[in-house]
Structure 1
Amino acid sequence: MPTYKAPVNETMFVLNDVLGLERYRNFSGFAEATPDIIEAIATEAAKLSEEVLFPLNLAGDREGCRRNEDGSVVVPKGFRGAFELYRAGGWLGLAVPEEFGGQGLPYVLHTVVAEYMSSANMSLMMYPGLTQGAIAAILVHGSQEQKQTYLPKMVAGTWSGTMNLTEPHCGTDLGMLRTRAVPVGDGSYRISGQKIFISAGEHDMAENIVHLVLARIEGAPAGTKGISLFIVPKFLPDENGEPGRRNGVSCGAIEHKMGIHGNATCVMNYDEATGYLIGAENKGLNAMFVMMNEARLGVGLQGLAVAEAAYQNAASYARERIQGRSLSGPKAPDRPADPIIVHPDIRRALLTIKAWNEGGRAFLLWTALKSDIAHRSSEESERQAADDLLGLMTPILKGVLTDKGFDHTVMAQQIFGGHGYIEEHGMSQYVRDARIAMIYEGANGIQALDLVGRKLGMNGGRAVMALFKEIGDFCEENRADESLSFFTKHLKKGLNDLQAATMWFMQHAMAKPDNAGAGSTDYMHLFGLVVVGYMWARMAKAAQAGLAAAAGEREAFLRNKLITARFFMERIMPETALRKARIESGAETMMAMAAEAF
């Protein structure tokens, strides 16, 4: 049976030693988030994750959700009770403004909690995860009346939320959507159409479900310019704001899918359902992208979270499973064989996952902190710089952490050998659950195209140039420090490769756009390598600084951090040269073959 322990020590090291969270005490919500309070909250989240959410993960996968004949959906046994504990603890509103019932704490702290809980039970945590995305969209684009009607109950968790974009014929290309909205004359609309792949679309854990639905108002322009966003509740709020008349929205089916069986992925039918415009007419994508960007960061988090759970089980198995002898001589001479963790190839796999998980966690929390700065700083220039970086990092974080998350669950499964292919060990579930994160909220190929086609050139390349300068300055400032020169040397080489690939796009992609498309995925991963390498260089600096005063477990922790940092630089960072070479090969060969030859 699988196990899980939340990495609280890892989190606190990143927040305190690397990011220096106390420097932001002047931001709203940060004064209350002292290191002691953050550690206490993280410890409570760890307890809920380990003792309540995680024990339901394997059983929820096996049982799945059940749709009744009336269209209602029943979640797996134990989910309702666990969700009630989560809801009662106020976890859903951790970073939501206090005026709507939240606690107003930093988004970076919400991210800490979300990682632990997603590691413990990804399927269950998707229900409040979709709600948090809907809350974000209503906060930014909703009217005051809409905020007062929906947000307090959604923040309390008594009502949940969804996002409805995809249709049977329309995935990424939202300009093709057919769901229509007909104005009634009283400010409401009649929404008709079908949406598919709707996570948490129907379930029995909330009194009401607030669907955010993309639709086209009659007479609106074709394509994406004519799309609007609507609030379509399952039950229409009555005069007291409580669930009233049942709306014309129903679950037509539950998708039969590869993983996340504990989450109800629904086909949603809208039959002249009453909906309310959120934001301006024909500006639905602006409103939806608030939710989409929140969701993309959350999905990147899922990639890390599942890989962390898989890694912990693989490491535990490798310490216990005996098989063969060490190449350098027996390490357990009193036993018939050595534990497989003595074998270099097992260590290669474990250190690869460990290095990506710890570097990815720093990347995730650093990005979440940028969101806090963008929304809470009193300095306009600081807000702008953070928002620029947040926009640039979102497709990289989503694409890289989910691609690697899946790769690493497979790598962890491989360590189990044949036992990894047997359901009772739980490794198969991690592989199956991690796979969806590469697809939903914008498939990773789309993330790569978004990065190359939109984010690089945004505001004249302001964000990418600022990041290149930040990393370059770090390398230069620490180049003379002998304890850090190894890390800065490798980081600078990776940065040089990234800058050269960026310049190659500037020179070759304008005249031939296929060059950008052909190199986009490699570029996204090249960028991710450099950013995670930057995180490792910063962690190495923090670890070196802390060693002088460290002893016992703390000293061992910091020394292991430095070993992992060296491994990342030696074995993983050199991949930047490979990615650069692929990018510079261009699109000619890739596009040369006729379609019918495939």
Structure 2
Amino acid sequence: MSHYNAPTRDMRFVINELLGLEKLAELPGLEEAKPDLVDAIIEEAARFSGEVLAPLNRVGDTDGAKLEGETVRATPGFAEAYQQFVESGWNGAAASPEYGGMGLPEVVATAAQEMWQSSNMAWGLCPMLTAGAIEALKHHGSDEQKSLYLEKMVSGQWAGAMDLTEPSAGSDLSVIRTRAVPEGDRYRLFGQKIFITWGEHEMAENIVHLVLARTPDAPAGVKGISLFIVPKYLVNADGSLGERNDYRCTALEHKLGIHGSPTCVMSYGDNEGAIGYLVGEEGKGLAYMFTMMNEARHKVGVQGLAIAERAYQQAVAYARERVQGRPVGHKDANPVPIAHHPDVRRMLMTMRSAIEAMRALAYSAAASMDEARHHPDAERRAHQQSRVDLLIPIVKGWCTELGLEMTSLGVQVHGGMGFIEETGAAQHLRDARIAPIYEGTNGIQANDLVGRKLLRDNGQAMQTLVAELRQNIASLSELTPLAGWQQPLNAGLEQLEAATEWLLSNGAADPVQATANSYHYMMLAGYVTGAGLMARGAFLAQQAIDAGSDDPFYRQKLATAQFYIEQLLPRAKAHAESVSHGSSAVMAIPVDEL
């Protein structure tokens, strides 16, 4: 199914009303982000996604990337779409105007990112990785490196890639073996990397790889890892392209989904060594790479939201057309579309309300990024950076877990036809399955949330978030139709607080206690934070209705918020109870008896 309609109305509501675009536009560097301009950008991004990218989604699944010799051939139509994307300036949406970018707020760029990923996730991975590489170089590259690479990467003339994983080093990067041998002011790299997304292609004229490797005298472990720029074509001092570097793609992985995205096995230094240039200082490569990883992890969370939205749209369209069965309680009536049946409505409302909560959470994290980067007050910037650090593992983990669940529901709505590839519902499920895995599995995200974000600051960032969510809930008492929602919402907050306290009391002394159920804590935090944001959205919607608005959108916001509170928020209690049970049951059976 190629059809895709970007949910621009809800995007604008979240950006303009829920998160307060006007306040963001007061920040230095973001003054141009007025509502009219942002609306125009969102509408144009929606047009490009629907008309150019979405029709190629199915093509990418059936006619994916291919390795021909040492050349990776992209899906037919992908390169042309990429050129249109670059020519329209989309690649630099959130990048600094200093390097030719639009300088849009991250929250607006996140809306565009949702559309790229929703309309064509496999294609969207290419500019997504470039954006992460840009962030890493902007923060850690030398002035010379920034001058040489960033403008062309921001424009999309050159693409970026991230090279971490090796056959012997999956998520544990401390044991990587790729070598970087010094040679004057540069290095020669030797080794192999796997799972390199868009590691080789011809859509851009150059690909700038950021590669983790070890120098000869580097210590073992993470302190011995350095980061190197390894371009596909060497770059001359004047910015022109030189000779082909000594690396190649030796294989493409055969994957469950995202077939249009080449996942490459890369070999460095088969001849004299791939030429690379050190970023920053030796031994700090992993810290530098996390700048790129955090950028990518947020965008992967957006992928979970995006693919769920695509699956929902297809499921709704099918449910409105597929005639089967009579209405409940009306045996003599004519058969009706399955959207009339309560259980199908339950599935569709589960998808819709989860999507709206995910969107609010992902965009909220992006708005905090904007404040952390642009607010004139240093204390406020630090506060918002703490919020970003706290939310990113939740956005990545919770949104991708829900994305997988919602695409599975999309198949279920289709019934038997969902299991048939021709309908396209199965592709969304297959594509969604990678999101909980890459850029750090969701178990790693959960451990990061508990170990680094919760225990390290003794729960301060989480307590601040909970206090803000409590304010959202308290405001419901001002509006009579919503006052009854306070009890279940406050119960969710209390469950999150209790689980937080349990981890603070038990996790610091015993890391096994902290990590055995960190997944449940991550999911608990997602459901409760999503509920607080949905409550705030409902408050704004009810205010608009009370002020005389007859826009059906606001009525729908109230309905999805009520459904979320009644049908999805109760899951928080189960996750909270799992946290408080600790590690005993998790670790009860010895490894050799599993």
Mean CA deviation greater in 507-516 or 437-446: 507-516
Distance 1:344 1:487 in 2: 23
| Structure 2 SS opposite 1:484 | helix
Q: Is the contact between residue 2 and residue 425 of structure 1 (CA under 8 Å) also seen in structure 2? A: no
Shift of 1:105: 1.5
Map of 1:132 onto structure 2: 131
Map of 1:161 onto structure 2: 160
Distance 2:350 2:556 in 1: 14
Distance 1:243 1:418 in 2: 53
Distance 2:558 2:418 in 1: 30
Shift of 1:264: 0.8
Q: Which amino acid aligns with 1:23?
A: K
Shift of 1:243: 1.4
Q: Is the contact between residue 294 and residue 392 of structure 2 (CA under 8 Å) also seen in structure 1? A: yes
Q: Which amino acid aligns with 1:176?
A: V
Mean CA deviation greater in 89-98 or 468-477: 468-477
Shift of 1:458: 3.0
Q: Which amino acid aligns with 2:9?
A: N
Shift of 1:596: 1.9
| Structure 2 SS opposite 1:189 | strand
Distance 1:480 1:84 in 2: 51
Shift of 1:593: 1.0
2:30 corresponds to 1:30: yes
2:242 corresponds to 1:244: yes
Distance 1:379 1:124 in 2: 38
Q: Is the contact between residue 459 and residue 504 of structure 2 (CA under 8 Å) also seen in structure 1? A: no
Map of 1:110 onto structure 2: 109
Map of 2:285 onto structure 1: 284
Alignment of 1:305-316 (within 5 A): 305-316=306-317
| Structure 1 SS opposite 2:434 | helix
Shift of 1:514: 1.7
Distance 2:93 2:403 in 1: 26
Mean CA deviation greater in 476-485 or 451-460: 476-485
Alignment of 1:50-449 (within 5 A): 50-69=50-69, 71-184=70-183, 186-271=184-269, 272-329=273-330, 333=333, 335=334, 337-449=335-447
Shift of 1:280: 1.3
Q: Is the contact between residue 365 and residue 391 of structure 2 (CA under 8 Å) also seen in structure 1? A: yes
Distance 1:63 1:93 in 2: 28
Distance 1:168 1:142 in 2: 28
Q: Which amino acid aligns with 2:138?
A: L
Alignment of 1:468-547 (within 5 A): 468-479=466-477, 481-547=479-545
Q: Is the contact between residue 473 and residue 536 of structure 2 (CA under 8 Å) also seen in structure 1? A: no
Q: Which amino acid aligns with 1:115?
A: E
**Residues 32 and 543 of structure 1, relative CA distance in 2, 3 Å threshold:** same
| Structure 2 SS opposite 1:22 | helix
Map of 1:42 onto structure 2: 42
Map of 1:562 onto structure 2: 558
- Structure 2's unaligned 5+ residue stretches are none
Mean CA deviation greater in 321-330 or 108-117: 321-330
Map of 2:592 onto structure 1: 596
Distance 2:99 2:478 in 1: 51
| Structure 2 SS opposite 1:485 | helix
Distance 1:473 1:47 in 2: 37
TM, length-normalised to structure 2: 0.98
Cα offsets for 1:367-397 (capped at 9, x unmatched): 1000000000001121111100000001010
Cα offsets for 1:122-176 (capped at 9, x unmatched): 1111111111100000000001100010011111111100000000011111101
| Structure 2 SS opposite 1:459 | coil
Q: How many equivalent pairs are there?
A: 591
| Structure 1 SS opposite 2:459 | helix
Cα offsets for 1:449-506 (capped at 9, x unmatched): 1111111023343311211221223333443542332333222110100000111112
Distance 2:6 2:561 in 1: 21
Q: Is the contact between residue 488 and residue 537 of structure 1 (CA under 8 Å) also seen in structure 2? A: no
Distance 2:408 2:74 in 1: 27
| Structure 2 SS opposite 1:440 | coil
- Structure 1's unaligned 5+ residue stretches are none
Distance 1:474 1:113 in 2: 27
Shift of 1:550: 4.5
Distance 2:527 2:308 in 1: 17
